[in-house]
A and B are shown apart, each in its own frame.
Chain A
């Protein structure tokens, strides 16, 4: 069930009504059952896969917690992590490995007695719940909260608002909210939930999906497009991925608030980041925290020499790239960000010594930093979205043809047909103006009576329903 589909809205309304009417002691069970139902509408067998993996994880966590000897604890931890990773690798990376092996064999002039690919479907949300399971096992090993029973651990993984695409939440963060009986949401939480769901729907259907109409053709067949059109397409994807994922997270957080469970923030105006490190503090925050706490810091973080830090950054970001998708463009994307972070790490130290504070605090320096970071991130999205390396080469080549882009913009200005330029401008604005536009709109919206808010939301939903008459687009992060 897609979060913006009518079937999901119907599911949510029925579930919410049941949740209100049910006695406190039944609410958690109802939500857990609904979560399995939600997942089973996509695939019943894969709901079984989660059931088995959560049971093994829970069992491992008990063994870790109950073992006195460190070696045993470590053994169970490693077993648990390997078990989760094997499931992830099997479903997500088998075909990638086969493809790579065949490619290498072809380069070496031999052929392998292996199938070209296996007919494997990727279980929805597997990357997300695998990371959550690993974080839980590591936290238990580190002596943090352990699930009091299987039921609670299963609820932590399966809870449907965060099951498919996060936010990646830690067990210790979620447990206090559902360990005891689940309460009904307060008036304030209900209002927040309603607002988040509505905003998320608008972000997804009216911004992300409309930007996709510009981005898809460019990435589908890049050779057909001029440098100016390529720039529009890449910018459109920059908008699409942000609003698509933020729309999803808003809806997930809003839906969760209806059941009185607060999920963490995942975005904080990432395109306003002043450097690449700052970008990762604002983009997919829960994933950034996860890779920091469970990969980067265990590797040594920034404690050693600069070369050691750079190595750690590169490893962390390559894993982060591979986590997103089984393909070289994703791994390259991770490597690209690792490289940017490494360069920034070196630059940061140099900057402190070489540049005066007056210069660093000047607004112009800040503005240039934001623009530069944005351009670098946008280049990164080419690797993320392109289907193969040939497309990457064509798109990057087009983007680097700055004089052509400028002359095309000049011709458009001279011809008076401004729609292409206007599109580019709107896309750019969409990336940056959030903090200045959303609060005033909220100030206008909040005093409206409840019934009028409902009617407004219904009109928005109907418009979205009409706009998506040719079919709903899945959320981008659903594929991970």
Chain B
């Protein structure tokens, strides 16, 4: 009797298990279809960010493969702060007519990510006569580099452009297989963003209707890759976020970037090594920073002069150029926050860097007339 009851129950449970499997499979297929539809309609970034997509496009589409170029790589300071089109015009006016200038810097880039774009550009046919990379202190903070590798670079490497970078471990290969074939997996972060956006549209409809609680950002990109950042603030918002009264100290991101700072050149070495291997002259630049920057550098016990000396030593050792412009622009009208230029600042800095580039090529000409 007992065994018959058990058999009946077992059949019932197996039937349930079968229905469970089929129903789940159907739901997953429908969800995959919905994800594909959403991705098609909303066009998410192909890489980890739209900003990176734009620069990737620029890197893979040289306008003229024959023209030597000045390639600008780095992070947001370079991305927002160097007006490549203007620099190209100014260089032409200075007699360097056969140069094109392209800004391949991307907000949030680590040196490894910059190197990735530089490689792509060279592979795609650019002929770099000079590469200029901006150096941000956080990128050389040994205490922060590995954390960045886990976050920004992790997203970058996991992205479509980075392809499946995983090693040969079984589970990771399975992950790769999933990411390549299922939009649900590949666009999980994007779907999360969409879901969050949906909930915000319901809970904070006012911000969706043009009453932003924080800065409103307009994004555009110039033909040569300059991406000025127009952040529109009310006076109160600006004061709240960027006053010199220590708002930046409290920013967890800033805190993390300067916590336990120790100088590590390992992040920048791959870029130097690649440029040496490809015979591309490289210059490092520390971009101008807001006059208030010393407030938070003091707060975090970061010594900018010592840092600059250490970068200079690395540059000297590697026989590359280094220009410390960090104190070169003390006009606070040129910044929209502690270390990023607005359009005025970008134009002023472009003039400075153009001078450096122009001198470099003029000296080359004079050495090899």
Residues of A with Cβ closer than 8 Å to B? 16-17, 20-21, 24, 183-187, 190, 221, 224, 417, 419, 422, 450-452, 454-455, 458-459, 462-463, 465-467, 469-470
Q: Assess the B204–A419 pair: CB atoms within 8 A.
A: yes
Q: Assess the A184–B192 pair: CB atoms within 8 A.
A: no
A467 and B17 in contact, given A221-B252, A419-B204, A458-B24 (Cβ under 8 angstroms) = no
Residues of chain B contacted by A455 (CB below 8 angstroms): 23-24, 26-27
Task: Output the least CB separation between A371 and chain B (Å).
Answer: 27
Residues of chain B contacted by A24 (CB below 8 angstroms): 6
Q: Assess the A184–B10 pair: CB atoms within 8 A.
A: yes
Residue in B6, B13, B17, B28 with the greatest tally of chain A CB atoms within 10 Å: B13
A184 and B13 in contact, given A466-B188, A469-B192 (Cβ under 8 angstroms) = yes
Q: Assess the B19–A458 pair: CB atoms within 8 A.
A: no
Q: Is B14 located at the chain interface by the 8 A CB criterion?
A: yes
Q: Is B181 located at the chain interface by the 8 A CB criterion?
A: no
Residues of chain A contacted by B22 (CB below 8 angstroms): 451
Residues of B with Cβ closer than 8 Å to A? 6, 9-10, 12-14, 16-17, 19-20, 22-24, 26-28, 31, 184, 188-189, 191-192, 195, 203-204, 206, 213, 250, 252
**Roughly how many angstroms separate A470 CA and B16 CA in the complex, as a whole number?**
33
**Roughly how many angstroms separate A224 CA and B14 CA in the complex, as a whole number?**
56
Q: Assess the A467–B192 pair: CB atoms within 8 A.
A: yes
Instruction: Name which residue of chain B comes closest to A22, CB basis.
Output: B10
Residues of chain A contacted by B213 (CB below 8 angstroms): 417
Task: Output the least CB separation between A19 and chain B (Å).
Answer: 9
A454 and B23 in contact, given A24-B6, A187-B12, A469-B188 (Cβ under 8 angstroms) = yes
Task: Output the least CB separation between B300 and chain A (Å).
Answer: 15
Q: Assess the B28–A458 pair: CB atoms within 8 A.
A: yes
**Roughly how many angstroms separate A458 CA and B188 CA in the complex, as a whole number?**
16
Q: Assess the B31–A459 pair: CB atoms within 8 A.
A: yes
Residues of chain A contacted by B23 (CB below 8 angstroms): 451-452, 454-455, 458
Instruction: Name which residue of chain A comes closest to B34, CB basis.
Output: A462
Task: Output the least CB separation between B199 and chain A (Å).
Answer: 10
Q: Assess the B6–A183 pair: CB atoms within 8 A.
A: yes
**Roughly how many angstroms separate A453 CA and B13 CA in the complex, as a whole number?**
16
Q: Assess the A17–B188 pair: CB atoms within 8 A.
A: no
Residues of chain B contacted by A184 (CB below 8 angstroms): 6, 9-10, 13
What are 12 contact pairs spanning A and B, CB under 8 A? Answer: A24-B6, A221-B252, A224-B250, A417-B206, A417-B213, A450-B16, A454-B27, A455-B26, A458-B24, A458-B27, A466-B195, A469-B191
Residues of chain A contacted by B13 (CB below 8 angstroms): 20, 184-185, 190
Given A20-B13, A419-B203: 10 more A-B contacts, CB < 8 Å: A20-B10, A185-B13, A190-B13, A451-B23, A454-B23, A454-B27, A458-B23, A458-B27, A458-B28, A462-B28
Grouping DSSP codes into helix (H, G, I), strand (E, B) and loop, the A interface class, with mixed when no group exceeds half, is helix
Residues of chain A contacted by B203 (CB below 8 angstroms): 419, 422
Instruction: Name which residue of chain B comes closest to A183, CB basis.
Output: B6
Q: Assess the B17–A454 pair: CB atoms within 8 A.
A: no
A454 and B19 in contact, given A466-B195, A469-B189 (Cβ under 8 angstroms) = yes
Q: Assess the A186–B6 pair: CB atoms within 8 A.
A: no
**Roughly how many angstroms separate A218 CA and B250 CA in the complex, as a whole number?**
13
Residue in B14, B184, B192 with the greatest tally of chain A CB atoms within 10 Å: B192
Q: Assess the B16–A190 pair: CB atoms within 8 A.
A: yes
A466 and B192 in contact, given A419-B203, A454-B24, A458-B27 (Cβ under 8 angstroms) = yes
**Roughly how many angstroms separate A458 CA and B252 CA in the complex, as a whole number?**
36
Task: Output the least CB separation between B258 and chain A (Å).
Answer: 15
Task: Output the least CB separation between B247 and chain A (Å).
Answer: 11
Residues of chain A contacted by B184 (CB below 8 angstroms): 462
Q: Assess the A450–B19 pair: CB atoms within 8 A.
A: yes
Q: Assess the A16–B6 pair: CB atoms within 8 A.
A: no
Residues of chain B contacted by A463 (CB below 8 angstroms): 195
Residues of chain B contacted by A17 (CB below 8 angstroms): 17
Q: Assess the B31–A470 pair: CB atoms within 8 A.
A: no
Contact partner, A467, options B9, B31, B195, B206, Cβ 8 Å: B195
**Roughly how many angstroms separate A93 CA and B52 CA in the complex, as a whole number?**
49
Residues of chain B contacted by A419 (CB below 8 angstroms): 203-204
Task: Output the least CB separation between A460 and chain B (Å).
Answer: 10
Task: Output the least CB separation between B23 and chain A (Å).
Answer: 4
**Roughly how many angstroms separate A20 CA and B18 CA in the complex, as a whole number?**
12
Instruction: Name which residue of chain B comes closest to A220, CB basis.
Output: B252
**Roughly how many angstroms separate A17 CA and B10 CA in the complex, as a whole number?**
10
**Roughly how many angstroms separate A21 CA and B11 CA in the complex, as a whole number?**
10
**Roughly how many angstroms separate A459 CA and B206 CA in the complex, as a whole number?**
29
3 shortest interchain CB distances as A-B pairs = A454-B23, A458-B27, A469-B192
